[in-house]
A = this chain, B = another copy of it.
């Protein structure tokens, strides 16, 4: 799995790394039990600082996406269905995007179509 980062954008690099690994899990490229590259290795591959990868891994661990072990490195975790608090939090983060789409005359159906398009492109 290839991770690419945009150094000029306004999204922090550690956040881009985190996002791409989450996308990798969602798309099935990374499955529960799979080993992630070591922090040093990934940092060298992408061409970024070790600290940056470290931060991304720590966030993924705190969010429950990966399990870190001092000896064997990091591996993808098996995640449980988490309903309550996550959905509320998600709504809060999604709200500005939905609002902007409404301002730009996008219908609910069009928005959901975009979501479905993302969903299916990941599912493949």
Question: Using a CB–CB distance below 8 Å, which chain A residues touch chain B?
Answer: 7-9, 12-13, 19, 22-23, 25-27, 65, 67-71, 79-82, 86-87, 90-91, 93-106, 108, 110-112, 114-119, 122-123
Interface centre among A27, A80, A95 (most CB of B within 10 A): A95
A80 → chain B closest CB, angstroms = 7
Which residues of B have CB within 8 Å of A91?
Answer: 114, 117-118
A81 to B86, CA, bound (A): 24
Given contacts A70-B7, A98-B115, A108-B115, contact A26 B103 (CB under 8 A): yes
For chain A, what secondary structure do more than half of its interface residues adopt (helix, strand, loop), or is it mixed? helix
Contact of A108 among B94, B97, B108, B119 (CB under 8 A): B119
Copy tally for this chain in the complex stands at: 4
Q: Which residue of B lies closest to A71 (CB)?
A: B7
Interface centre among A27, A111, A119 (most CB of B within 10 A): A119
Query: Are B119's CB and A104's CB within 8 A?
Result: no
Query: Are A118's CB and B105's CB within 8 A?
Result: no
Query: Are A87's CB and B114's CB within 8 A?
Result: yes
Which residues of B have CB within 8 Å of A22?
Answer: 96, 99-100, 103
